[in-house]
C-alpha cells in the first residue's frame, strides 16, 4: 500500500509545519510547510471551482517557480493529472501537446506569453491562467483565483494507482510522447533517491535544472518534500546565479547534467563560499573522466550518478560516490527493486549477453510508466513481458556494473566499422580548449557515414587542426574513429535533462 503524493505532503506538514519548505529566489519569497500547504489547498479548490475533476489534465508552462510545484500538489489533492510542459518549446509544439492532452486549465507566465497567445486561440475549451500581476484580457489571474479560494483540504478519493502526471518526452529522436506515471511510481522513486542521496530534513536543496523534467522533479524535489527538507527554486540555470545561491542559501544538495557542472567549474570558484554543498547528483550522461576529477578536486563534494529515462521515472541505476573513480564511465548498478539486462538488440528478455558484449539495455521495476498517453501501439513496442526496451546500447562488466555505449540510433557505421560517438566525445573532452562536444554520423557515398564533431570552444583560438592532431596523438582512439570534420558552434541543442538532441545536429 503506497501513499499518494498528496498524502506525503500532508505527512510532512504534520511533522514539520514550521520548517522552511520553499524559497523562490526570483520573487524573494519564503514559505513554511504549513504556509505552502495552505496555498496548495487554495489552488486545489480554485481548480475544482473552475470545473477540474478527477482525471482532468492541468498543464503548466512555467520556469522554476513556486506556482509550478504548488500546481503539482494541488492536482495530487484532487486527482487531477499534472502536465508540466517544456518552456523552450515553440507554439506549434505546445499546440501538439495541448491537442493530445486536452487540459482543462493551462497555467503560464509572462516570459512565455508570445508562444502561448497563438495556442490560446486554437483551444477555446481550455482555461488559461497567468501567474504574473500583469492583466491579460484573454487569461485569468492565477493569484486572484487563489486568493478567493478556501484553504481547507478538498475531500477527493485519490488512489496510489491513479495517474499523477503526463510528462512529454523532450525528444532526442523526434515527436514527444506523453509518459503516464502513477502516484505509486513516484513514491517508489522517492524511496530510491532519499536512500541513495541520504536526504534528511536538514538538507537544503537547490532546483536549478528545469522542474518540468523528471530528473529534477522526481529525483530531487519530490524526495526532498518527502523527508521535509527545504527546496530553493532558481528561475532558470545560470552558473553564476547557482554559485551565488549555493553560498547565500547554504545549499547542501543539487542536481545538474554534466554540462551544467562544467559551466560552474569554469567560473572563479574562489569568489564563493561553497562549503555547505555536500553532494551533487548528475545524470543525462556519464561525466567525462576529466570533468569528474575536476569536479571532485575543485568542489570537494560527493557525486552520485543516476541513469534512466522518463519512462522509468527516471532512475534505474545508481553509481555511488565511492565508485566514481574506480568505475569511471559506468552508470552503476540497478536501483532498489529494479533489474537491468543487456540482450541481443530487439531480442527476448532471456537473450542475455555475456559480460563485455554490447547489446540493448532493457530494464524492469516498480517505477515503470503506465504507458504512453493515447499511444497503445507505441507502448506495446517498448514494453514487452514487463521489460522496458530502452533503445540504449551498452554492456555489463564481470561485477554487474552497467556501461552505456550510446543510443542505438546514434551509432555510426563507417566502412563497416561500428563507432560509438561517446568514446570519441570523451577523447575530445580531454582537450583543454573544449567546453562541450557532440559527435554524429553524416552520410557519405564512399564510407557509408563519416564522423562529424560539433564543438563548443572554451578557447576561441582553437582550430580543427588542433583537435585533429590531438586525436591523432591519443592512444585511446583508433584512426578510423577520428572526426573528419569539426563544426564550431555557440551551444549544443539539448533537451530538458541535458541530453544532446543529435537528430537536430544530423539534420544540419
**Mean pLDDT score, 341-349:** 93
> Which residues contact residue 120 at a Cβ distance below 8 angstroms, ignoring those fewer than 6 apart?
126, 128, 138, 139
What are the pLDDT digits (tens) for 469-488? 999 998 888 788 899 999 99
Topology match between the domains 5-396 and 411-506:
no
308/283 Cα distance (integer angstroms): 8
CATH 3.40.50.12780 describes domain 5-396: yes
The residue among 356, 449, 341 whose CA lies nearest residue 398 is 356
Q: Which CATH class is domain 411-506?
A: alpha beta
What are the pLDDT digits (tens) for 367-384? 999 999 999 999 999 999
Q: DSSP character for 408? A: G
What is the overall mean pLDDT for the chain?
93
What are the pLDDT digits (tens) for 55-110? 999 999 999 999 999 999 999 999 999 999 989 888 988 999 999 999 999 999 99
454/429 Cα distance (integer angstroms): 12
Torsion, CA 111, CA 116, CA 120, CA 123, rounded to 10? -140
Asked if the model's pLDDT at residue 172 lies above 50, the reply is no
> Which residues contact residue 89 at a Cβ distance below 8 angstroms, ignoring those fewer than 6 apart?
97, 115
Asked if the model's pLDDT at residue 170 lies above 90, the reply is no
Q: Which residue has the cell 503524493?
A: 5
Question: Quick one: what percent of the chain has pLDDT higher than 90?
Answer: 78
**Mean pLDDT score, 419-434:** 88
241/264 Cα distance (integer angstroms): 10
Each domain of the chain, given as residue ranges in start order, spans 5-396, 411-506
What are the pLDDT digits (tens) for 216-226? 999 999 999 99
407 grid coordinates: 543510443
The residue among 144, 459, 167, 463 whose CA lies nearest residue 310 is 167
Torsion, CA 180, CA 184, CA 187, CA 189, rounded to 10? -50
Amino acid at each position: 500500500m503506497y501513499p499518494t503524493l498528496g498524502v506525503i505532503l500532508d505527512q510532512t506538514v504534520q511533522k514539520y509545519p514550521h520548517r522552511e519548505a520553499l524559497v523562490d529566489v526570483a520573487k524573494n519569497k519564503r514559505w513554511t510547510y504549513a504556509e505552502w500547504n495552505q496555498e496548495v489547498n487554495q489552488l486545489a479548490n480554485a481548480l475544482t471551482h473552475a470545473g477540474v475533476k478527477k482525471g482532468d489534465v492541468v498543464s503548466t508552462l512555467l520556469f522554476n517557480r513556486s506556482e509550478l510545484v504548488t500546481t503539482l500538489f494541488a492536482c495530487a489533492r484532487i486527482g487531477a493529472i499534472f502536465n508540466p510542459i517544456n518552456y523552450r518549446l515553440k507554439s506549434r509544439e505546445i499546440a501538439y501537446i495541448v491537442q493530445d492532452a486536452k487540459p482543462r486549465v493551462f497555467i503560464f507566465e509572462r516570459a512565455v506569453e508570445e508562444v502561448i497567445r497563438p495556442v490560446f486561440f486554437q483551444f477555446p475549451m481550455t482555461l488559461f491562467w497567468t501567474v504574473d500581476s500583469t492583466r491579460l484580457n484573454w487569461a485569468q489571474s492565477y493569484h486572484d483565483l487563489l486568493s478567493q479560494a478556501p484553504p481547507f483540504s478538498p475531500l477527493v478519493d485519490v488512489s496510489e494507482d491513479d495517474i499523477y502526471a503526463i510528462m512529454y518526452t523532450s525528444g532526442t529522436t523526434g515527436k514527444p510522447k506523453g509518459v503516464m506515471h502513477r502516484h505509486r511510481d513516484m513514491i517508489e522513486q522517492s524511496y530510491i533517491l532519499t536512500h541513495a542521496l541520504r536526504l534528511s530534513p536538514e538538507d537544503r536543496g537547490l532546483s536549478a535544472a528545469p522542474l518540468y523534467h523528471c530528473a529534477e522533479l522526481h529525483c530531487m524535489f519530490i524526495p526532498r518534500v518527502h523527508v521535509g527538507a527545504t527546496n530553493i527554486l532558481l528561475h532558470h540555470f545560470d552558473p553564476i546565479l547557482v554559485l551565488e545561491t549555493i553560498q547565500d542559501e547554504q545549499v547542501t544538495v543539487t542536481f545538474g547534467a554534466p554540462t551544467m557542472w562544467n559551466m560552474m567549474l569554469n567560473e572563479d570558484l574562489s569568489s564563493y563560499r561553497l562549503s555547505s554543498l555536500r553532494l551533487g547528483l548528475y545524470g543525462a550522461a556519464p561525466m567525462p573522466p576529466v570533468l569528474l576529477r575536476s569536479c571532485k578536486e575543485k568542489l570537494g563534494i560527493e557525486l552520485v550518478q543516476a541513469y534512466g529515462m522518463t519512462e522509468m521515472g527516471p532512475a534505474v541505476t545508481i553509481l555511488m560516490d565511492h565508485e566514481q573513480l574506480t568505475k569511471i564511465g559506468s552508470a552503476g548498478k540497478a536501483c532498489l527493486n529494479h533489474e537491468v539486462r543487456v540482450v541481443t538488440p530487439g531480442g527476448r528478455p532471456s537473450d542475455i549477453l555475456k559480460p563485455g558484449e554490447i547489446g540493448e539495455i532493457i530494464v524492469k521495476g516498480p517505477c515503470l510508466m503506465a504507458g504512453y498517453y493515447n499511444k497503445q501501439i507505441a507502448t506495446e513496442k517498448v514494453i514487452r513481458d514487463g521489460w522496458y526496451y530502452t533503445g540504449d546500447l551498452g554492456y555489463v562488466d564481470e561485477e554487474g556494473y552497467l556501461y552505456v555505449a550510446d543510443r542505438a540510433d546514434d551509432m555510426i557505421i563507417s566502412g563497416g566499422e561500428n563507432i560509438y560517438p561517446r568514446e570519441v566525445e570523451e577523447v575530445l573532452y580531454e582537450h583543454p580548449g573544449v567546453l562541450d562536444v557532440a559527435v554524429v554520423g553524416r552520410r557519405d557515398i564512399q564510407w557509408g557515414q563519416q564522423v562529424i564533431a560539433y564543438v563548443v570552444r572554451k578557447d576561441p583560438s582553437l582550430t580543427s587542426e588542433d583537435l585533429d592532431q590531438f586525436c591523432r596523438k591519443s592512444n585511446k582512439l583508433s584512426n578510423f574513429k577520428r572526426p573528419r570534420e569539426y563544426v564550431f558552434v555557440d551551444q549544443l541543442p539539448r533537451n530538458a535533462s541535458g541530453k544532446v538532441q543529435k537528430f537536430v545536429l544530423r539534420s544540419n
